């Protein structure tokens, strides 16, 4: 008998050789029906894996990320089998599961149009109905190479050739289809109850633009059709909210062929940016920050000193000035170091909090550019805080409080990740443990739940990342707090301590918005372009019914402008219904309809973008209402 430790802490004894699924059936018929895969001694495996020795076992269902991954990985194999059945000349590349779905890359003479995707879905349905078992087998390297060459699968041959000499080379077969794969998979294709192919794009083999462009088919898969329908509805809602589409419709910004990755902001977009910057400055002044600005271009030596040259030069732009080598800054940190170092600092001056709306440039591959979310030129709301070691917990806590306050104004919920130091961390193991421990200590002291993201910190230190949740449930990584003892060392930053000796400060890098451009894109999609009144580029539009009320309209516009509101008038010779619809499309919070009666009585007929007709108000009453709404940032 072997002993199997279950997730709930209990231990059961079973005959060796039973599969994970058979053990699940012995525990509960319901658990077995819900099972998709298993975790055996911490490793995700197929349900058909036999248990041969004492172990820890968890049965993975749809509720687990691993269960979703296995189901979607299997769906990618079903897609590949359908492609090979309908278009046998196609060569297979790779097909992993990804967040919310899967993809598979193909080299095919057939162009995978929407009509072709429909045919592939129909063939996938047949494969699911056949409920083909997925069976695993292994081959020695030379046999595996011969096997794939005979199948005329050059991409699979290349993958095998690149595996380590001692690698286990495994395959999965389902009916007439076999694929090179490490697994694991579902026991049979019939468990993929609901799926949808969503799009097809180009993708270079292995992500290298020097390689051939393949066709990548994306899809998603679920255990229930209702869950898939809900997901697809969210996708449609996301398309409706796409910031690139709304940015054009609302005339906020554009990305042009003359400057790919370098966004243009138009008057309304600049109003939105300026409001955000003004709010940012108010909050930072309140929190004890001083604002600085550092140069856009600095000499190459500085980037060697900072470590960016060794870790980031592939993403940097360079130029020459007077025969000397310079770099356009990809980050604001080195400039912040020089700003601190400009004069002697005493322990009595610390902490020093320096904030900067700094424009940075990073060379992103053209295929990675995406609206305002991934650009080559953007503004970071950076801050660099310098402190004594004793001040570190309090300063980290203060940054968390500031970021929390900012996000709450926009109605964002968020969760936190602790990203630990990467392999190319510049410091020692002792320093790594020190800075990672400091961040953990603050999070735990504040009772904040967090997950650990191993190795995703900066090369100079670990960080706390803030992931915002928007109005349709998507998450976005924005704010970050990075603890750094490397940069002060590299730049020889010092302060005079109470003992009269020189000491090295500790530094925090942090952002709240992250990238201003990206944050604006997130806000556009979160609000679907319908910004609250305090953020709206145009807060009020005046809609005269006839030419006779133009003078009254002008007087109302002047009064509202004098009160500090952002106002437009629509004096076109159009019907009032048309003007109202146009204002709704432009997502203006308030429309004031002005006819003869309103002009005669000195009142305004108010329409709200959200609530519709609010009736007639005195102008003073409307002004008081809007002022309260703007002041409260509701």
Structure tokens at 518: 């990206």
Residue 77 annotated to the active site:
no
CA dist 235 and 414 (Å) reads 21
- 509 counts as catalytic: yes
Cβ atoms of residues 315 and 362 within 8 Å: yes
77 is in an annotated binding site: no
Residue 161: C-alpha distances to residues 178, 196, 336 (Å): 18, 33, 48
Is 311 a catalytic site residue?
Answer: no
Strands 413-419 and 475-484: unpaired
Residues 172 and 183 sit within 8 Å (Cβ to Cβ) = yes
Q: Crossing angle, helix 267-286 and helix 516-526, to 10 degrees? A: 110
Catalytic (active site) residue 384: yes
The answer on whether 503 is annotated among ligand-binding residues is no
Tokens of 447: 């009772």
State the Cα–Cα distance between residues 98 and 102, nearest whole angstrom. 5
Selected catalytic residue, list 20, 333, 421, 478: 333
| Separation of alpha carbons 7 and 231, rounded Å | 30
Sign of the C-alpha dihedral computed for residues 396, 397, 398 and 400 taken in this order:
positive
Say which of 374, 376, 503, 509 is annotated catalytic. 509
- Asked if 478 is an active-site residue, the reply is no
* 380 has catalytic annotation: yes
CA dihedral for 303, 366, 370, 227, sign (positive or negative):
negative
Confirm or deny that 384 is annotated as ligand binding.
yes
Burial 317-349 (b: 16+ CB within 10 A, else e): eeeeeeeeebbbbbbbbbbbbebbeeeebebee
Nearest-angstrom CA–CA distance, 605 and 542: 10
How many other CB atoms are there within 10 angstroms of residue 545's CB atom? 18
Question: Which of 84, 243, 329, 384 is the catalytic position?
Answer: 384
Please name which of 482, 481, 477 lies closest in space to residue 519, comparing C-alpha atoms.
477
Q: Which of 374, 463, 510, 566 is catalytic?
A: 463
Catalytic residue among 362, 518, 579, 607: 362
Binding site feature residues: 333, 384, 509
**Residues annotated catalytic, as ranges:** 333, 362, 380, 382, 384, 463, 509
Binding site feature residues for Zn(2+): 333, 384, 509
């Amino acid at each position: 008998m072997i002993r199997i430790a279950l997730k709930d802490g209990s231990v059961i004894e079973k005959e060796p050789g039973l599969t994970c699924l058979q053990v699940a059936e012995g525990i509960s018929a319901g658990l077995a029906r819900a099972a998709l895969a298993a975790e055996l001694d911490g490793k995700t495996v197929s349900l058909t894996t036999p248990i041969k020795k004492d172990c820890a076992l968890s049965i993975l269902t749809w509720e687990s990320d691993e269960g979703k991954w296995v189901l979607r990985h299997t769906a990618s194999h079903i897609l590949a089998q359908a492609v090979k059945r309908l278009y046998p000349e196609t060569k297979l590349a790779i097909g992993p599961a990804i967040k919310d779905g899967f993809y598979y890359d193909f080299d095919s003479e057939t162009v995978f149009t929407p009509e072709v995707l429909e045919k592939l879905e129909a063939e996938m349905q047949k494969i699911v109905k056949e409920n083909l078992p997925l069976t695993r087998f292994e081959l020695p390297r030379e046999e595996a190479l011969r096997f794939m060459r005979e199948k005329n699968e050059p991409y699979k041959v290349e993958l095998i050739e690149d595996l380590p000499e001692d690698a286990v080379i495994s395959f999965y077969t389902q009916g007439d289809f076999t694929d090179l794969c490490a697994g694991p998979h579902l026991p049979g294709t019939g468990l993929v109850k609901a799926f949808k192919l969503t799009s097809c794009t180009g993708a270079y083999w292995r992500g290298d633009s020097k390689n051939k462009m393949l066709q990548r088919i994306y899809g998603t898969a679920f255990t229930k059709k209702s869950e898939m329908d809900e997901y697809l509805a969210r996708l449609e809602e996301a398309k409706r909210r796409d910031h690139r589409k709304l940015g054009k419709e609302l005339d906020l910004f554009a990305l042009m062929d003359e400057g790919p990755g370098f966004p243009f902001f138009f008057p309304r977009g600049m109003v939105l940016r300026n409001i955000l910057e003004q709010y940012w400055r108010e909050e930072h002044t309140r929190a004890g920050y001083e604002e600085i600005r550092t140069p856009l271009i600095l000499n190459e030596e500085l980037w060697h000193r900072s470590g960016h040259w060794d870790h980031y030069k592939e993403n940097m732009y360079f130029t020459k000035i007077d025969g000397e080598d310079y770099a356009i800054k990809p980050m604001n940190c080195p400039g912040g170091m020089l700003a601190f170092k400009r004069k002697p600092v005493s322990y009595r001056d610390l902490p020093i909090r320096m904030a900067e709306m700094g424009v940075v440039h990073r060379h992103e591959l053209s295929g990675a550019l995406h609206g305002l979310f991934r650009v080559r030129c953007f503004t970071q709301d950076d801050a660099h805080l310098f402190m004594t070691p004793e001040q570190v917990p309090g300063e980290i806590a203060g940054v968390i409080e500031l970021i929390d306050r900012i996000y709450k104004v926009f109605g964002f919920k968020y969760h936190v990740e602790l990203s630990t130091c990467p392999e190319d961390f510049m410091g020692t193991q002792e320093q790594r443990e020190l800075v990672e421990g400091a961040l953990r200590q603050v999070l735990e002291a504040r009772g904040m739940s967090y997950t650990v993201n191993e190795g995703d910190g900066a090369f100079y230190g670990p960080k706390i990342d803030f992931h915002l949740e928007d109005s349709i449930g998507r998450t976005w990584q924005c704010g970050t707090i990075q603890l750094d003892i490397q940069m002060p060392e590299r730049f020889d930053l010092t302060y005079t301590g109470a003992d009269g000796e020189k000491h090295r400060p500790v530094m925090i890098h942090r952002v709240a918005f992250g990238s201003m451009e990206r944050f604006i894109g997130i806000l556009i999609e979160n609000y679907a372009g319908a910004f609250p009144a305090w953020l709206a580029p145009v807060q009020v539009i005046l809609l005269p019914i006839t030419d006779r009320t133009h003078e009254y309209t002008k007087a109302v516009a002047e009064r509202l402008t004098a009160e500090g509101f952002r106002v437009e008038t629509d004096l076109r010779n159009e019907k009032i219904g048309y003007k109202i619809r146009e204002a709704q499309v432009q997502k203006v919070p308030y429309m004031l309809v002005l006819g003869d009666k309103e002009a005669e009585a000195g009142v305004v007929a108010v329409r709200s973008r959200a609530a519709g007709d609010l009736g007639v108000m005195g102008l003073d009453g409307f002004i008081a209402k809007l002022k309260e709404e703007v002041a409260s940032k509701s």
